Amino acid sequence: MSQTSSANNPKHIAIIMDGNGRWAKARNRPRTLGHRAGAAAVRNVVEFCIAHSISVLTLFAFSSENWQRPSDEVSALMRLFLKMLESEVDELARQGVQLRFIGERSKFSTEIQAKMLRAENLNLTAKKMTLVLAASYGGRWDIVQAAKKLAAEVAAGKCDIDSIDENSFSAALSVADLPAPDLFIRTGGEQRISNFLLWQLAYTELWFTETLWPDVDATIMQQALDFFTGRERRFGLISEQLAGDSR
């Protein structure tokens, strides 16, 4: 397995963890077993990112559309989420991981909301990595809530409408204080971003794999890093400009 220099690695990786249900179906097991296997894959990926000096990892844990899934599956996911908040967050803090949540958390039970807040307050300094869990999250929701926030500031006379630009809009979005994702990964074979970080992914490198999420390991993650380091990120410029040649 090849290794990439940490200097060349992305600072922020965003992942859609797809394939838990199909992983379980292939084994003639209930979908809930796939979600539990997916939770184990999260631990492996967090350890990989810490080892490779990835400063931010954002995982799409539960989308705003996922509330429309069968009620028994949603209930099982909520129980798994609650169990993770009870059993995993202290270990994450011990590893130097700061946990943050983005999304419409008011839709969760008061118990889950309280444990989310506790988890966020566990490790606020001396962190090796920030783990962002997008839960009850949608990219369109993120953009709309940012627009509402700016509209309220204009209505209150705190800012002028003509002063709103890309920078001020970005500052109103979720995790505005973190760098935009450098690398986006989607497992499970689908090739779409599914309402995930729509604004933030504008110049992100996109990598898709057929591997189902529970089967993701260090080898798969290294393949993604190798893809990333092989890309030329121009951000609208041309190669000669990046090399300092304006001819």
Task: Confirm whether 182 is a catalytic residue.
Answer: no
Report, as an integer, the average pLDDT of 146-164.
95
State pLDDT tens for residues 27-82: 999 988 999 999 999 999 999 999 999 999 999 999 999 999 999 989 988 998 99
Q: Could you tell me if residue 37 is inside a domain? A: yes
Expressed as residue numbers, the domain containing 97 is: 6-138+179-242
User: Which of the residues 9, 20, 44, 66 is marked catalytic?
Assistant: 66
Report, as an integer, the average pLDDT of 167-184.
96
Q: Could you tell me if residue 105 is inside a domain? A: yes
Q: Could you tell me if residue 169 is inside a domain? A: no
CATH code of the domain containing 12: 3.40.1180.10
State pLDDT tens for residues 76-133: 889 989 988 988 999 999 999 999 999 999 999 999 999 999 999 987 776 799 999 9
Q: Could you tell me if residue 159 is inside a domain? A: no
Q: Could you tell me if residue 147 is inside a domain? A: no
Report, as an integer, the average pLDDT of 135-147.
97
User: Which of the residues 18, 20, 123, 182 is marked catalytic?
Assistant: 18
What is the count of structural domains for the chain? 1
Task: Confirm whether 66 is a catalytic residue.
Answer: yes
Q: Could you tell me if residue 172 is inside a domain? A: no
The pTM for the full model equals 0.90
**Residue 67: DSSP 8-state:** G
Q: Could you tell me if residue 149 is inside a domain? A: no
Q: Could you tell me if residue 165 is inside a domain? A: no
Give pLDDT, residue 233: 66
Closest CA to 120 of 97, 136, 100: 100
Closest CA to 19 of 192, 215, 235, 231: 215
Give pLDDT, residue 67: 94
**Residue 195: DSSP 8-state:** T
Q: d(Cα 93, Cα 105) in Å, to the nearest integer?
A: 21
Query: Quick check: 1 pLDDT over 70?
Result: no
